[in-house]
Amino acid sequence: MTQQAMPAATRHRERPDEFKQGVVNRLRSAAGHLNGISRMVDEDAYCIDVIHQVQAVQAALDKVALMVLDDHMRHCVMGAAESGDPAERERVLGELHDVFETLSKLKK
């Protein structure tokens, strides 16, 4: 099965340990904040304080998304561009288009 026909869940790319550790650390931090938000709700914390913590989690996840997107563009997109395979280039560009389209809908 060619990569372009392969489902997204089966594609993967080896990443440097330093990159993975940075992403995992941010995700663990976000998970800790989420647990804190649950406690805040259980303890009837002030609404605005809860919202501020939700915003902190969203910012942490946005940073993770940007880190992964940057990695994707530098490796996967550049690899597709340099591959000489027009179908692979279109597939990767379509993925980027879909990601940005989804993000633009979230911002409305």
Instruction: Please state the domain count of the chain.
Output: 1
Q: How far is CA 27 from CA 32, 33, 106, in A?
A: 9, 10, 21
Domain assignment present for residue 4? The answer is no
Tokens read off for 98: 């879909």
pTM: 0.76
Query: 96: domain CATH number?
Result: 1.20.58.1000
57-102 per-position pLDDT tens digit: 999 999 999 999 999 999 989 999 999 999 999 999 999 999 888 8
pLDDT tens-digit map of 5-32: 455 556 777 888 999 999 999 999 999 9
Query: Any idea how long the chain is?
Result: 108
Note whether 67 and 22 are within 8 A (CB).
Answer: yes
Residue 45 domain-assigned (yes or no): yes
Q: Structural domain of residue 73, as residue ranges?
A: 18-106
Evaluate whether residue 73 is within a structural domain: yes
